[in-house]
Structure 1
Amino acid sequence: MKNYKKTLLSTAVSSACASFIALTPMSYAQQAQSNTSEDVEVIIVSSTRSGKDLANTAVAVTALSSKALTDAGISDPTNLQDLAPNISIDRAGSNGLQITIRGVSSTDNTEKGDPSASFLQDGIYIARSQAQEIAFFDLDQIEILRGPQGTLYGRNATAGIVNVISAKPTLDEMYGSFDGAIGDFARRQATAMINLPISDTAALRAAVNWDKRDTYLNKNPDSPFELGSGKDALSARLSGFFELNDNVNVLVRGDYSRLDGTGRNTVKLSNFFDVLDPSTIPANGPVYSGNQKSSDELRTIGWVDTQQADYGGSTWGVMTELNWAINSELTMTYLGSYREFERRDKSIQTYDGGLVLPFGIIDIAGPQRFTGDYEQTSNELRFTYVNDFMNLQGGIYAFEEESYIEYLIFGEPGTDGAVFGFPQGPVISESLAIFGQGTFNLDTNLRLTLGARYTDDEKSRVGAAINHFTLDEPLDFTFDPDTNPIPDSLNNAEVEYSETTWKVGLDYDINDDFLLYGIVSTGYKAGGFNDGCIEGTPDCFNPILESALYYEPETITAYEIGLKMDLDNGLRTFINLFNYDYKNMQLSNLSDICGGTCQVTTNAGAAEINGLEVEARYYITASDKLNIALTWLDAEYTDYQVDLTTNLKGEKLNRSPEYTAIIGYQHVFDLESGAEVKFDLSTRYSDEYSILAVGTAQNFVQPSFTKTDVSVTYHSSEGDWYVQAFIKNIEDEVTIANASYSPVPGFVDGTVNITDPRTAGVRFGLEF
């Protein structure tokens, strides 16, 4: 499309400024002798900071251009698994996104927890998983790096990184676009963009996106309250690009997103499983019965709301990237950001007198209120030195996040009656790192890469678990036996950890078409703390052991061999074979060490992960393209001591199907008018996978499934407008993203977080 080509041509940059993305289309006839006239996308991978084409990048990475995202109808992160192998991105209810890459994930999405996969927006780390479901609009591309990224990144990148890269302003001419979509579930989407050069050396780019739909759930017929919008998001971005002189340029960007809508995707466990008393369920988990029910039945809420739910939030931030070419070989890059995120949630969902929580049902009734305020700053200063022999990068990185939350399960501060909740703050996380990585040309075809990163992490929290009958404003954590018959429990803790991660790699050009590489790398995620306080802490009325309060960092050592083929016949194939040694796994379970039922993280396990990935793109003819991604994954615990009697050695890791396959086919019909009709068909197969029940050490098994998408797109002869009809998940497969039992005796049910059902609609767009 016209705007697409403008963007590609104008964003090409040199490897010295590789942190700016470049998408440069190259005529296939220019690239190689072939009977194919289809343009082949040559994507420059920015996340490796080397400025190399995808086929020449010695790392397991999937890069999706804005064109590929549009063709596939990818509008938010949860759809990325439709195109990228060995990645799962699910909604974990109010806990935000759950990202799993090659079986590596995290289960603590609270203010004190860290993800295992690093989610980046324009290279800026986004700490809170609840702020990661951003709208995909006006993008250059998305890059998914699989495997630990412990040198150039390091901040919670044990599993890998997902980097969402926005389009930047261009200096060539003014242009703009508008895209919209309507569909079932009252889906309404609209995106508008304008690029405005204001001089020969400065340009602005503004984009706005609106995304609204109804919930995918069906309410209980007996409930008097509506479920509300499933999503109601409004996002805006303003970017400025300035060439200060021939050697210095600056990119400044500000963005804002209103994140309203319930986002509810939780139903009763019995919608999908034959639920028995947890004490009688076999070790391999309950019997799956979801295949005996319709999509509508699976998506129907089984409890009756006693109050109108209200969910809302917003996030905004500013960032600056400065590139200074000090001389022909040395470049300095500064990347800095400040961001804020807030949550304002109120919900109540009852079933048989029990309040549904993320982990099950508790026999109480009253409003849940969550108020959270988070702010983060990050600064990175990096130097790049490039000559004919080497490419060196090194710098310093600093990150800080501070948050305040108040989570009230029931009761209101300053009123008579019981109050149970968790006021926490400040919760502070600080990280300081020094890193360096160099690639050295040993000869014409052979290169050696060495890298290391030293990271120092500090975490602290001041807070409490409030569990008493009366509470006066302001919150008072002092125990008073006359007014507080059940004492408060402080949640005060402070820890510091440091680690050195490293990378060693060799890559060899067998010839112009084949690249062979091998990598040994390490990853690290800092330790942390659970709820509670240790004996000797002032006003600590429910002390726990220090070994129960704190947990240690987790580490991964990864071994990988890869082969990349870029053949003259239009076939590109990338193959990766890998092995992980995963130690000190941070795993969460339910425990009563906090004086009641709470989620506790421990270094309970170790795992070994083996896998094979094959990605191929074949330009069969000028009008036919085939995409294939195949994976084999053997991810299992080598040790997981759940309790004194249960060890899960040999069990599969969460969300780790042994086999998956993604197959996509595209055919372009060229019309006599010069217009074209593009037909896209893709299907994703997943083998069965397990989800371990928090607190019961039993697996829920999601059976194997297939989800198929189809779209037909008409592009005008001038390439300045299009219209597309689409269906996603034709089979209407509603699968489980997370599941758990109720931890409360007497309740045999629990909850399930579900994925999206079948959706259909029409997209359209124009450029000017």
Structure 2
Amino acid sequence: MTLLLASAGTAASERESIAHAAAAVAMQSSQDAPPPADGPPTRAVDLDTVIVTVERREQDLQRYAGTAQAFTSEDLRALGINNELRNIQVAVPGMSIANQEGNVEIFIRGVGSANNTELGDPGAAPHLNGNYIPRPRGLGTMFYDLERVEINKGPQGTLRGRNAVAGTMNIVTRRPQLGEDSMSGYVQGEVGNRDHRGGEVALNMPLAVNAALRFAGYHVEKGSSFTNVGDPRLTPAGIQNETAGRLSFLYEPDDKLSVFAMVDMGHESGTGYPGANIYSAVRAGYGPDDVDMREVVYRGRQGAMDNRIWGFQGNVAYDFGAIALEYNGSFRDVDFWQRNATSDSINWPGRDLSAVDYDVFSSQFWQTRSQAQTHELRFVSTDGNRFNWTAGGFYFHEKQQVGYFSLADKGYCCYSGTEFTMPDVDGKSWAVFGDGTFDVTDTFRLKGGVRYTDESKSRYGIGGNWALTLGGADFACCFATRLGTEGFVPTLLNRPNFDVSGLSSSADFARFLLQGILTPGARDTLIQQIGGIADGSAPNGNCFVRPDIDNGFMQCPPDGGFTYANLTIPSQQQGSSAFNYTDWRFGFEWDRTDRSLVYGTLSTAHKAGGFNDSFDPDVIPETYRPEKILALELGTKNRFDMFGRPATFNVAAFYYNYTDQVFQDLTAISFDPVTEEASGFALANRNVGKSRIFGVEADSTLRFEHGFSLNLNALYLDTEIRQGVVADARSQNYDAGGITSEIDLSGNELPLASKLTFNARLQQLFDVSFGTFDWQILAAYRSAYYLTQFNNREVTFLADTAGTVDRVEDAFTAGFPDRQRAVTQINVGAGFTSPDGAWRTEIWGANLLDKDVSQKALVGSGLNIRFLNDARSYGVRVRYNF
């Protein structure tokens, strides 16, 4: 019924322990937590204890047997890491965060997932207060009034479970403060470059000695870091307008019961998340380092985005004496819509912008709705015996409705768009788990855990091309059509019908296509051309010629109709998959001294499998299996005195065996029986990859005289793809029917995996007669890395399906360089706090060197789209605490 053209298919495919001292699990009152961030910064002469919950319980980070980092809200604000989630990666070696059309993609140590449609899942699991978030859209709207942000590196299959093969990121919000006699909180305002202005407020409201409410909210507006050098009527993509708020409740009547509840909402709007297609610039001889990738030639459609999120979560914990019981539950609703801005690549030296056809409205529309709930029940031993354990169950259910429409305005024979609309996507997961720690001696402990998971997914909808072959006089081919001009809106999830199994006639096909148009564009021609087919008044449609669709040689038949009208509509899409797997971990902890911990862990983790688009199962497999990582980590954490002050030094070595790795493979789904050439393609997820990852990570915190402190963190990472033969999406040859060559990825590095990352953060805090000053500078170095699995390898173009080589080009000549050079970024911050701690003024600067860093590349036929970091930002902030 349909053939998925590869140029559209490429874009469419990219569319988504526990316990030592277990009595502390979720039972510590807020008074036991670190002091609230509403007050002034803490002094740097002492080594502050960093409390984290990476193992599902509060513990000193220095006593956690693993590799993790934590940042308080003060840390993030001071370095300009606010309202821009992706900016946190500059402070976390081995972490990469990109934002493609609102899809937040997190990679840790080279592991993650770029499959962000309903067919895939994240590879690094995001959490909010420990509750799993399956669709990490709009995470930036949660980045305010925080206790801390925790990044746990490495597989977390037993501890966190679902889709934590790379690790986890946990955003911990500030809870209501108990025991206060009156209301407290803060009010904050800030301004910065690119028309940045924003505000934040928090109000802690005591209800009784043992109960309190906390309200927090923020609003921020910020201009784009991209420049429009095309149609002056258009505003660049990337403009932010965000508002969010949350209300939380905490009740702790005694040391046994704790009840926490929170409701939050967020709204993002603006001009959408931008990318820059550098393909044409590269073909003109200019690499990404030779041009300003932020100078985009906009044309056609204005970008727009609207994202509405709200959620509820609750936690109830009770200590029965020998056992503590904890329940965590959450619900999260996401309603995302985006129309991508239209562009004609970017600018490059000497480009004649007057030669650009600005009357082209080709674009993409995204619509994603998700309603996800999680439930977890845990039982924890609290008797303080040598064996401490936890056990429980987890349940997850997500309903999605997903729409994607890519349109090709001025569809000169015969392609007009691609639509994938799924009104019913259902995902479920349940798990049971157990974990324990046994004290062999006072200084040596063994720990282990196991988790069994059962996953299922299904979807129903439509997917494929809109294609029209409209014949002129004497059966000449073919008339053009326009779709998507000013005012055009696709129907997507508002379609009246998603059942195409019984459609067979041209009238059926025409009606189905027209039902996909909610609002016609002002200068669209499609409805006029095929409307008569749909209502029966003109079985071959209505032929007419207009200057903007006149290809110079087509003439209408004398009767005003087409001599033929062949229509293609999307096909039925029905997919399902079901998998189960077991994860486990085993390890030891040895207190070499009371200030030195040695540990080792061997563990596994899985990322959920899934299914592919519905085509011939003999060509494209219906399902793909879960990915799996087996990880070994050995490390030591040490406290010591240097110059009479406490310091730390930690180091860990790790090795991952990554199997059943999923690579996307461009596959021919049909062949012309006469020419024997491929005539349709689709991207398939296949378990064809194996990789190994080795690394060493070290960090140290040092304290000096006069309030100085220095934090150092370094990561050496060596990755290698050991197996993986796929079709090379870069090599499509449309002169030969769109065929592609195969490429063996063996020996390549994993994408986004720098060999060396090094961070240094110098801080100072000192008193003066009228208050306290503090300042800090973060320098982050990251060595070069590849953006795709192709690793700048040469591209082989085929002449025919027999495998005859047409030509071989290096990656640059073909338009596909994918290596990001080494980069150093600098963030700074400084602040002054009044003597009573009530007033605080801060200045910050992020990416001060204004480095353009590609955080992801999407490559395919005519595509080399770069998704970049945030450009230089700086500003001033004033905060009043009360």
TM range (shorter): 0.7 to 0.9
Determine if the alignment matches structure 1 residue 385 to structure 2 residue 409: no
Distance 2:652 2:28 in 1: 25
Paired position in structure 2 for 1:740: 858
Paired position in structure 1 for 2:801: none
Structure 1 residue 95, shift from structure 2 partner = 4.6
Determine if the alignment matches structure 1 residue 629 to structure 2 residue 629: no
Inter-CA distance 253–52: structure 2 relative to 1 (3 Å threshold)? same
Partners of 1:681 and 1:710 within 8 A in 2: yes
Paired position in structure 2 for 1:73: 80
Match of 1:183 among 169, 188, 192: 192
Partners of 1:693 and 1:740 within 8 A in 2: no
Inter-CA distance 288–613: structure 2 relative to 1 (3 Å threshold)? farther
Paired position in structure 2 for 1:611: 695
Inter-CA distance 52–219: structure 2 relative to 1 (3 Å threshold)? same
Paired position in structure 2 for 1:439: 437
Amino acid at match of 1:267: A
Inter-CA distance 245–23: structure 2 relative to 1 (3 Å threshold)? closer
Matches within 5 A, 1:118-157: 118-157=125-164
Inter-CA distance 645–291: structure 2 relative to 1 (3 Å threshold)? closer
Deviates more, 1:426-435 or 1:460-469: 460-469
Match of 1:720 among 814, 833, 838: 838
Paired position in structure 1 for 2:752: 655
Distance 1:23 1:114 in 2: 33
**Structure 1 vs Structure 2: percent identity of aligned residues?**
27
Paired position in structure 2 for 1:32: none
Match of 1:499 among 569, 581, 595: 581
Partners of 1:420 and 1:468 within 8 A in 2: yes
Determine if the alignment matches structure 1 residue 574 to structure 2 residue 662: no
Inter-CA distance 507–190: structure 2 relative to 1 (3 Å threshold)? same
Partners of 2:323 and 2:381 within 8 A in 1: yes
Distance 2:371 2:408 in 1: 28
SS at match of 1:88: strand
Matches within 5 A, 1:362-401: 365-366=361-362, 368-386=364-382, 387-401=384-398
Inter-CA distance 668–245: structure 2 relative to 1 (3 Å threshold)? closer
Paired position in structure 1 for 2:828: 710
Structure 1 residue 364, shift from structure 2 partner = 8.2
Matches within 5 A, 1:180-219: 180-219=189-228
Paired position in structure 2 for 1:539: none
Paired position in structure 2 for 1:94: 101
Determine if the alignment matches structure 1 residue 59 to structure 2 residue 61: no
SS at match of 1:58: coil
Paired position in structure 2 for 1:410: 407
Distance 1:619 1:212 in 2: 38
Distance 1:504 1:162 in 2: 22
Structure 1 residue 370, shift from structure 2 partner = 2.4
Structure 1 residue 401, shift from structure 2 partner = 0.5
Amino acid at match of 1:628: L
Partners of 1:23 and 1:42 within 8 A in 2: no
Deviates more, 1:205-214 or 1:722-731: 722-731
Paired position in structure 2 for 1:549: 622
Gaps of 5+ in 1: 1-12, 27-35, 277-286, 354-362, 534-542
Distance 2:79 2:104 in 1: 21
Structure 1 residue 646, shift from structure 2 partner = 2.0
Determine if the alignment matches structure 1 residue 310 to structure 2 residue 304: yes
Paired position in structure 1 for 2:257: 248
Match of 2:866 among 744, 747, 752: 752
Match of 2:601 among 512, 519, 522: 519
Partners of 1:24 and 1:41 within 8 A in 2: no
Structure 1 residue 348, shift from structure 2 partner = 4.6
Paired position in structure 2 for 1:330: 323
Partners of 2:44 and 2:709 within 8 A in 1: no
Paired position in structure 2 for 1:561: 634
Distance 2:459 2:35 in 1: 50
Structure 1 residue 180, shift from structure 2 partner = 2.1
Structure 1 residue 546, shift from structure 2 partner = 7.0
Gaps of 5+ in 2: 1-21, 37-42, 347-358, 410-414, 469-490, 510-566, 671-678, 728-740, 797-810, 812-816
Deviates more, 1:459-468 or 1:495-504: 459-468
Give aligned pairs, total: 704
Deviation per CA, 1:75-107: give whole Å up to 9, x if none. Answer: 13212222222111122x215211110110112
Determine if the alignment matches structure 1 residue 105 to structure 2 residue 104: no
Inter-CA distance 120–292: structure 2 relative to 1 (3 Å threshold)? same
Amino acid at match of 1:708: I
Distance 2:64 2:331 in 1: 31
Deviation per CA, 1:356-397: give whole Å up to 9, x if none. Answer: xxxxxxx98545332222100110000110313122111000
Deviation per CA, 1:413-459: give whole Å up to 9, x if none. Answer: xxxx9664111121111000000100111101001111000000001
TM-score (norm 2): 0.76
Partners of 1:95 and 1:109 within 8 A in 2: no
Partners of 1:17 and 1:331 within 8 A in 2: no
SS at match of 2:137: helix
Distance 1:560 1:477 in 2: 52
Distance 2:668 2:229 in 1: 33
Partners of 2:706 and 2:766 within 8 A in 1: no
Distance 2:658 2:237 in 1: 42
Distance 2:190 2:569 in 1: 54
Match of 1:530 among 604, 607, 612: 612
Amino acid at match of 2:296: I
Inter-CA distance 624–367: structure 2 relative to 1 (3 Å threshold)? closer
Partners of 1:369 and 1:409 within 8 A in 2: yes
Paired position in structure 1 for 2:570: 488
Deviates more, 1:141-150 or 1:718-727: 718-727
Inter-CA distance 257–217: structure 2 relative to 1 (3 Å threshold)? same
Structure 1 residue 249, shift from structure 2 partner = 1.7
Structure 1 residue 718, shift from structure 2 partner = 1.3
SS at match of 1:110: coil
Distance 1:438 1:602 in 2: 36
Query: Aligned Cα RMSD in Å?
Result: 2.7
Deviates more, 1:252-261 or 1:593-602: 593-602
Inter-CA distance 381–620: structure 2 relative to 1 (3 Å threshold)? same
Amino acid at match of 2:586: V
Deviation per CA, 1:619-668: give whole Å up to 9, x if none. Answer: 12251000111110001101111247421111110000000100111122
Distance 1:545 1:18 in 2: 55
Structure 1 residue 25, shift from structure 2 partner = 6.8
Deviation per CA, 1:660-691: give whole Å up to 9, x if none. Answer: 10011112232123x12112111100100001
Determine if the alignment matches structure 1 residue 343 to structure 2 residue 457: no
Partners of 2:443 and 2:592 within 8 A in 1: yes
Amino acid at match of 1:397: F
Indicate the structure (1 or 2) with the bigger Cα radius of gyration. 2
SS at match of 1:203: strand
Structure 1 residue 477, shift from structure 2 partner = 1.2
Paired position in structure 1 for 2:779: 683
Distance 1:379 1:610 in 2: 35
